[in-house]
Amino acid sequence: MSATFGVNTELSRCVLRLIGPSDHSPSPIQRHSTLPRFYNGFLSLSAASENLKVTRRTRISPRLLSMPTNSSSESLTYRDAGVDIDAGSELVRRIAKMAPGIGGFGGLFPLGDSYLVAGTDGVGTKLKLAFETGIHETIGIDLVAMSVNDIVTSGAKPLFFLDYFATSHLDVDLAEKVIKGIVDGCQQSDCALLGGETAEMPDFYADGEYDLSGFAVGIVKRDSVINGNDIVAGDVLVGLPSSGVHSNGFSLVRRVLARSGFSLKDKLPGEDVSLGEALMAPTVIYVKQLLGLISKGGIKGIAHITGGGLTDNIPRVFPKGLGAVIHKNSWEVPTLFKWIQEAGKIEDAEMRRTFNMGIGMVLVVSQEASNRILEGGGGAYKAYHIGEVVSGEGVSYH
């Protein structure tokens, strides 16, 4: 049965975050020849677009060809057939031909001595769990988190956020809950909710369902951009804890749930919360913490751990020729991930490429800075020394 709901890992790697390696060269034009995902079709459009850096994400979820049967003995992976594995990378290639360069976690637009940094994202199929659990109060926090956590990786302070809420029939109580979460997310990231669009689209969404997208804009001085350029072998990887699955990997989560025999109301084994509550825990917004740490210096690169996990997201901030070694026992993997892995019989590598495994943000810092940051502001926050930068490429776990 696994072939009926599988998806190929290559697709996830290619396109879950199709924005590829980050911007390490001073001019995007220089990157064109070596990194085909970077290009600058729009540079001629505007004098201001010198040094423009563009990002395009793709959040690809496997298509459910049929619902998985309960309690299969087969291991759940993203490798099986059932979705066109080349679709995502093909779209990237085609967009690359006609649209601006792609790179980093947020698009950079030069403005005077600063960059405006913009990011957009939705919350993917975590929405389905919101529908199923009835927990709508925090999905707006997830929405804001996805975009502001991206733009803060460049050192940008978020200025404002806008949301798009689409549904087939406006339910005021439901919309109010969702937007209240967005307001909370904006407060947590100290940015203004500058606008939004509520779209009632008959015949688009199932009853009681909706889709969300969000847009954040921040600003950073040009000479303060965090871009990974100064990262060297020997730098330290500092991990900041996640609150759970955050807003990625939910297509796999839903498959695991379907085969596990567990309901969302069942307790997460070993914890005092239901599975639904644990899965719906709002994404941590790292903005204030990161801006505080950045202001003290020593942070060379920041990776927001979303789809692709530690495995795919950490290398995106590295210059060519560098990789990472992760000490896999350097933090406690939360119970929720252990349950998902066990219930889905998912291999370690698959877990690490799909989920954040308890680490939602990774800082690449000098050894000097690492001591200060790992001290955790006198206990004000948790931080883990999870690994080091090494010569080579990719991420290995020891």
User: Of 42-61, which residues contact a copy of itself (CB under 8 A)?
Assistant: 42, 45-46, 48-49, 52, 54-61
* Nearer to a copy of itself among residue 239 and residue 276 (C-beta): 276
Smallest distance, Å, CB 136 to a copy of itself? 14
Could you tell me the maximum CA-CA distance found in the chain, to the nearest angstrom?
A: 59
Tokens of 308: 């692709």
* Nearer to a copy of itself among residue 192 and residue 349 (C-beta): 192
Range 96-135, binding a copy of itself (CB under 8 A): 98-100, 106-109, 111-112, 116, 118-122, 124-125, 127-128
Number of residues that bind a copy of itself (CB under 8 A): 89
* Nearer to a copy of itself among residue 122 and residue 387 (C-beta): 122
Determine how β-strand 384-391 pairs with β-strand 107-111: unpaired
Range 269-328, binding a copy of itself (CB under 8 A): none
Smallest distance, Å, CB 309 to a copy of itself? 18
Smallest distance, Å, CB 330 to a copy of itself? 32
Range 366-385, binding a copy of itself (CB under 8 A): none
Q: What is the DSSP letter of 107?
A: E
Residue whose C-alpha is closest to residue 142's, from 306, 338, 340: 306
Determine how β-strand 322-326 pairs with β-strand 395-397: parallel
Q: What is the DSSP letter of 316?
A: G
* Nearer to a copy of itself among residue 213 and residue 224 (C-beta): 213
Count CB neighbours of 173 within 10 A: 8
Range 207-246, binding a copy of itself (CB under 8 A): 209, 211, 213, 215, 217, 219
* Nearer to a copy of itself among residue 194 and residue 273 (C-beta): 194
| H helices present in 134-233, as ranges | 139-152, 172-188
Residue whose C-alpha is closest to residue 16's, from 107, 91, 127, 75: 91
Smallest distance, Å, CB 2 to a copy of itself? 16
How far, in Å, CA of 292 to CA of 288, rounded? 6
User: Which residue stretch of 189-197, 262-270, 310-318, 358-366 sits at the interface with a copy of itself (rule: CB under 8 A)?
Assistant: 189-197
Smallest distance, Å, CB 305 to a copy of itself? 17
Contact 6, 77 (CB under 8 A): yes
* Nearer to a copy of itself among residue 24 and residue 254 (C-beta): 254
* Nearer to a copy of itself among residue 57 and residue 259 (C-beta): 57
Smallest distance, Å, CB 386 to a copy of itself? 28
How far, in Å, CA of 123 to CA of 144, rounded? 9
Smallest distance, Å, CB 274 to a copy of itself? 22
Please return the burial class of 344, using the count of CB atoms within 10 Å of its CB with bins 0-12, 13-18 and 19+: buried
- Tokens 């290398």 appear where? 315
* Nearer to a copy of itself among residue 86 and residue 271 (C-beta): 86
User: Is residue 63 a contact point for a copy of itself (CB under 8 A)?
Assistant: yes
Smallest distance, Å, CB 96 to a copy of itself? 11
* Nearer to a copy of itself among residue 18 and residue 346 (C-beta): 18
Smallest distance, Å, CB 394 to a copy of itself? 25
Smallest distance, Å, CB 270 to a copy of itself? 30
Q: In what order do the strands lie in the sheet with 395-397?
A: 299-304, 359-365, 236-241, 384-391, 322-326, 395-397
Determine how β-strand 236-241 pairs with β-strand 157-167: unpaired
Range 146-175, binding a copy of itself (CB under 8 A): 159-160, 162-164, 166, 168-172, 175
* Binding mask of the shown chain, residues 64 to 83, with x at each position contacting a copy of itself by CB under 8 A: x------------------x
Contact 304, 246 (CB under 8 A): no
Q: Which helix (H) or strand (E) holds 359?
A: strand 359-365
How far, in Å, CA of 252 to CA of 75, rounded? 12
* Nearer to a copy of itself among residue 30 and residue 46 (C-beta): 46
Positive or negative, the CA dihedral 339, 342, 344, 347 is positive
How far, in Å, CA of 387 to CA of 361, rounded? 13
